Amino acid sequence: MKSILAAHFLIVLLFAISCTAICQDASCYFDNLGGKLASSSNLSEAMDLFNKSLDQNQSNDGAWVHKGNVQRAMKNCDPSIESYNQAIRLDQGNKAAWSGIIEAYTLKKDYDNATVAADQIIRLDPRNKANWLKRGTILQIRGEFENASSDFDHALTLDANYKDAIYRKALSELSANRTTQAIELLDRIIALDSKYKNAYNAKGLALEISGDYENAIASYDKALKIDETWSLAQINKIHALMAAGRQRDAVDILLRV
């Protein structure tokens, strides 16, 4: 009798394990399929598949992250944050979930909570230069330019040629009216990548602040050569032309914008 009961228990156990494995496989299948749809911008269809994935296995933290990404892409910030938090409840060290929360809070312009999440991801992965750039960028938006520069320096310690960190550090220098240092950093980016249009635009601003309007105009022209429809560089060029006393040229651009 005992042997029969033991055999029955073993069958039930194996059946439970088998069902769990099947659910997990189905969850992964729907999650992977949803990821393919999300990458081709079929967001609603992708969301349906992520929900199916989670119906099969609520413990699939990857599916929660992917669902959060789609919700964020659809500008549903609060639901996306909840999805990321579900992933974090399952795995406190889920870096993709923390990164998603940073993006969602930034999209909401909730920079306090974005900073808290950025602090956490740096604790989890301090050797990732992108994490230092993210927090530094948020600090810049908050007006904490010196603290932001410190984060960009951390990123540049990891990669001395990290263009985005050099650019952001240059903006901090500009905010402090250290135009010479800003221009040096922007020239450093241009030497690394002659197509980095933001560097030309920022250099134009630095030159304009310094009163060098003609070279500022030339720098804006280089940005516009890369992207002739870039309205920000066009507006900045108009401003520099006006400051240089070239009102006719400025009006000519206005007529064509």
Every domain of the chain and the residues it spans: 22-125
Of 73, 71, 62, 72, which Cα lies nearest the Cα of 31?
A: 62
Q: What is the pLDDT of residue 3?
A: 52
The tokens 């330019």 sit on which residue?
145
Q: What is the pLDDT of residue 24?
A: 59
Amino acid found at 253 = I
Distance between CA 227 and CA 71 in Å, rounded?
31
Superfamily of domain 22-125: Tetratricopeptide repeat domain (1.25.40.10)
* pLDDT tens readout for residues 118-129: 999 999 999 999
* pLDDT tens readout for residues 40-74: 788 889 888 888 898 899 999 999 999 999 999 99
Question: What is the CB neighbour count within 10 angstroms for residue 247?
Answer: 11
Mean pLDDT of successive 10-residue stretches along the chain, which has 257 residues: 44 38 69 82 87 90 94 96 97 96 97 97 97 98 96 98 98 96 98 98 97 97 96 96 94 84
3-class DSSP state for residue 193? coil
Distance between CA 182 and CA 170 in Å, rounded?
5
Q: What is the pLDDT of residue 28?
A: 87
3-class DSSP state for residue 6? helix
